[in-house]
A and B are shown apart, each in its own frame.
Chain A
Amino acid sequence: MGNDKFVEVKNLKKVYNNGHEAIKDVSFSVKKGDLVCLLGPSGCGKTTILNILAGLLSPTSGDILFDGKSVVKTAPKDRHIGYVFQNYSLYPHMSVLKNVMFPLVVGKNKKPKAEAKKIAEKYMKLAQISDLADQRPHNLSGGQQQRVAIARALVGEPKILLMDEPLSNLDARLRLKIREEIRSLVKEVGITTLFVTHDQEEALSIGDKIILFNDGVIQQDDLGQNFYLKPNNYFVANFVGNPVINNFKVKKDDGKIKAKDFEINVDDLDQDRFKREIPDGDYILSVRPENILPDENGGLPVHVDDIELIGRERILKFEHDGKQARSLVDLEAPIKVGDDIKLKMRLDRIFLFTPDGERVY
């Protein structure tokens, strides 16, 4: 029981002095040893939550428990956590070794220098930076600085590791490489980790589970693939997935769902996927580019305006009802720009949302 909710957040609320409600009512928990990603666009509150977990900010109301004990009134240094900042925040006037040793030589539980050095060296080895011990931070590359930050965060052998967009400042190639290293490192050490990011691909790749935020509220708290297959709402469906999902304005009228250039019978849909009875009216039909494909018998005629090549696939771009939409086909499909083709949707993979974003199918 304790391990299931090793980190627990209860009804967290944060309102700033100027009235801005950064976090509205957030509750979630993290299993011991898990790597959980806090995902969301800028301003959604994810970093605010991380800072509250760290004790750098006080919540307006709500509770935080580490291993069953409330820490919401505890100072950061007594919470026994490690924190990796987006800009690494290495102490510029100290060598790498001194940086990593720092948490061990300050505070209440100071260790003697020799012992601290040994522990620091152990974690530097783990982070693969042993050869940089005497360097100053400004001499290091972004990736190296990042590893130093991680080593420093782990050296105090904390129970929880918090990471605030640690990969944002790295170039794309490096980002892919290091995120895997981070995952294997924290798993090896066995530390419960919360990892903030705005990159949905990153979250899907390394998170044991993902919590998606928007506007200070949790949109979905789930395993990665469920964001794809079972999004809670319109926001989630649009945030996760690359290329972005296609959205079509439709109207349910009697037994038909009508869009500008196509029509679907309600009876053709998978009735088990309906969340509830839906009355006639306006809706949004969303379908991922990989689920709307060229087909001779397709019900949606489109004109291919442009084709974008993304490595192993191509994106066909077309217009419907004034908006651009996409279909993801493979490299060898015999379609050219300017062609008029027909598209067919996989009806068991489409979603239907009310105009407020609630998912009904």
Chain B
Amino acid sequence: MKRIRWGVVLGYIILVIFAIITVFPFIYMILGGLMSFQETTSIPPTIIPKHFEWGNYAKVFAQAPFARYFFNTFVTASITTIVSLFNSLLGAFAMVNLQFKGKRFIQIILLSLLMVPGEAIIFTNYNTIARMGLLNTYIGLVLPFLTSIFYMYYLQSYFGSISSTIYKAAMIDGASDWEYIWKILVPMSKGGLFTVGLLSFISGWNSFLWPLLVTNEDSMRLLNNGLSAFASDAGSETQLQLAAATLTVLPILILYLIFRKQIIRGVVRNDLKG
């Protein structure tokens, strides 16, 4: 008869409780989005709706251009991801592989900029974008985010773990820097680049404050802002709000469940050096 290890049992109990606390809001969101209005305000609260009101989603799409929000968000998240990945890649390469005067100076400046909270500069950036006449445009939405010091720093540490003699070997073999980057560095760093791209895309997908400042036309809104606008417009129609919320969350959740290993590894790796 195996002795029951109370420590382990207790541990599981605590974990399961918190796991439920963590996951339950998502499940509730999905289920709530399929309820009727009465069910959402019933006491005792309904957990599983009697009928799945798929019509809620139709109503959501009718009341607010969620398809458009999706599109906008996809476009802006993709652009910022691709461009900032490209820029961070080049910058990190220069910092790791090239010797030049002023490198330390740049490193210090970039490091200190990392500590500045985005909220401190977001308002001035709004002003700049406004003055350039780029409010309510895709360019305005993406412009300040086409480089990421954070990701460049992350790639620097990733590239830094590659032996420096690989670059030297490529130099002697006759490769130009550009050839080195695309034929050697990038293929060798697929993991790190993918993680950065994924994290960048997710954060772009979930952005809120910046688009709030820079767009007020419904057609240019991103998902998060569209959702919050919808929520305030939908007033008490909680079931519609939850359906809209599910719409926002589901694609990322699916992405997450597929790439969870990569995502988690990327977050851990870049912060362990902190």
Contact = CB atoms under 8 A, between A and B. Distances in A.
B183 interface: yes
B170 to A, nearest CB: 8
A151 to B, nearest CB: 12
Closest 4 CB pairs of A and B: A107-B174, A103-B173, A106-B175, A89-B169
A297 B114 CA distance: 81
Given A87-B163, A89-B165, A89-B166, A106 B171 contact: no
Given A92-B188, A93-B188, A106-B183, A83 B175 contact: no
Contact of A77 (B165, B171, B188): B171
Contacts of B176: 77, 106-107
Residue from the set B163, B169, B171, B183 with the largest chain A CB neighbour count within 10 Å: B169
5 contacts: A76-B171, A85-B168, A85-B169, A102-B175, A103-B174
A156 B173 contact: yes
Nearest to B190: A93
A288 interface: no
Contacts of A37: none
A85 B165 contact: yes
A152 B184 CA distance: 15
Contacts of B179: 106-107
B10 interface: no
B116 interface: no
A77 B175 contact: yes
Nearest to B169: A89
A40 interface: no
- What interface size band does chain B fall in? 10 to 19
Contacts of A87: 163, 165
A32 B4 CA distance: 79
Nearest to A103: B173
Given A89-B163, A89-B166, A81 B184 contact: no
Nearest to B176: A107
Contacts of B183: 102, 106
Interface in A101-131: 102-103, 106-109
Residue from the set B171, B174, B183 with the largest chain A CB neighbour count within 10 Å: B174
Given A89-B163, A106-B183, A77 B169 contact: no
Contacts of B187: 93
Contacts, number: 66
B172 interface: yes
A108 B187 CA distance: 22
B168 A77 contact: no
A54 interface: yes
Given A93-B187, A106-B183, A76 B166 contact: no
Contacts of B171: 55-56, 75-77
Contacts of A82: 172
Given A93-B187, A107-B179, A81 B172 contact: yes
A85 B165 CA distance: 7
Interface string B175-192: 110010001100110000
B172 A76 contact: yes
B21 to A, nearest CB: 43
A107 B188 contact: no
A152 B183 CA distance: 16
Contacts of B188: 91-93
B248 to A, nearest CB: 38
Contact of B169 (A75, A83, A108): A83
A91 B171 CA distance: 13
A144 B169 CA distance: 18
A102 B184 CA distance: 10
Contacts of A91: 166, 169-170, 184, 188
Residue from the set B172, B174, B175, B184 with the largest chain A CB neighbour count within 10 Å: B172
Contacts of A156: 173-174
Contacts of B166: 89, 91
Contacts of A107: 173-176, 179
B173 A77 contact: yes
Given A106-B173, A152-B173, 12 more contacts: A77-B174, A81-B172, A85-B168, A89-B165, A91-B166, A91-B184, A93-B184, A93-B188, A106-B175, A107-B175, A109-B174, A156-B173
